[in-house]
Structure 1
Amino acid sequence: MNSPEFGLFLISILASVAGQFLLKAGALKLGRVNVDNWIGHLLSILSTPELLAGLACYGLGAFAYILLLTRVNLSIAGPAVSLTYIFSVLLGYFIFREAIPLSRAIGLGLIVSGVVLVIWKN
């Protein structure tokens, strides 16, 4: 991966992670959805700034990923963007105080190992 490709890769991952963070923050602001309040929640999505910003970040991430796919094989780009999962778990841990059980930590290690193997000397 050369510098422009790596830049697109980084933008795609960071924008997607930012999108996940903002969607979680917006979802916490909305509160729990249930049978009685789901219509109100659907309407609230359109007026919650964090949710709108999160969707915009996802759009930016998708745009960068599409541009990346014009330059890199899907067999490289697809697995590589799975690093988004790593950053999402770390955000959950540090920002939202979510636990990381041992089984999840092992799974994340396997994801990182898999990405390294996929992009190694390509």
Structure 2
Amino acid sequence: MSTQNIDQGWLHDRLGTVVLWALLICTESAGQLFTKVAGDQLGQMDFTWQWLADVARNPAILAAIACYIGAFFVWMLILRRSSLSLAFPLSSLVFVVVLLGSWLGLGEHISLLHWVGVAVIIGGIALLAEGEEN
């Protein structure tokens, strides 16, 4: 029996793809939000040894780094199964989730123009996905 005929499990089917995309969007978005929180906590960047030590010990920075490392490996798995011409535009969903996270989690004001931008991003992704060949 060839290895191509062996059922490779849920990670290699449509559900696995959806799970990978959810992980990518969550880890990338969380990394951005953690970086913002850390930047606010650390304040002025003086680029001294003390500031670098504070950066290295900051829990939000450590969480952001962990998110980016996780996102890198998930991105590699996504690219193994998707064309870059579709995957890269789909990754723009991170912009939408970061905007929502900054609004809901950080209390930032989001203008009407930003919400229109979210609608344009989602509409563009829908058009790209509709045009994708199976």
Give me the TM-score of the superposition, normalised by structure 1. 0.89
2:114, 2:52 → 1: CA distance? 31
Amino acid in structure 2 at the alignment position of 1:7: V
The sequence identity of aligned pairs, in percent, is 28
Residue 122 (structure 2) pairs with residue 112 (structure 1): yes
Shift of 1:42: 3.0
Larger mean CA deviation between 2-11 and 40-49 belongs to 40-49
Query: What's 1:28 paired with?
Result: 40
Aligned to 1:14: 26
Q: TM-score w.r.t. structure 2 length?
A: 0.81
Q: 1 CA distance for matches of 2:84 and 2:57?
A: 36
- Using CA pairs below 8 Å that are at least 6 residues apart, which structure has the higher relative contact order? 1
Using the alignment, how far apart are the partners of 2:109 and 2:44 within structure 1?
20
How far is the alpha carbon of 1:43 from its aligned partner?
3.1
Residue 48 of structure 1: aligned partner: 58
Q: Which residue of 2 aligns with 1:4?
A: 16
Unaligned runs of 5+ in 1: none
Runs of 4+ in 1 over 6 A off after TM superposition: none
- The 2-side partners of 1:120 and 1:55 are apart by 34
Larger Rg, first or second structure (1 or 2): 2
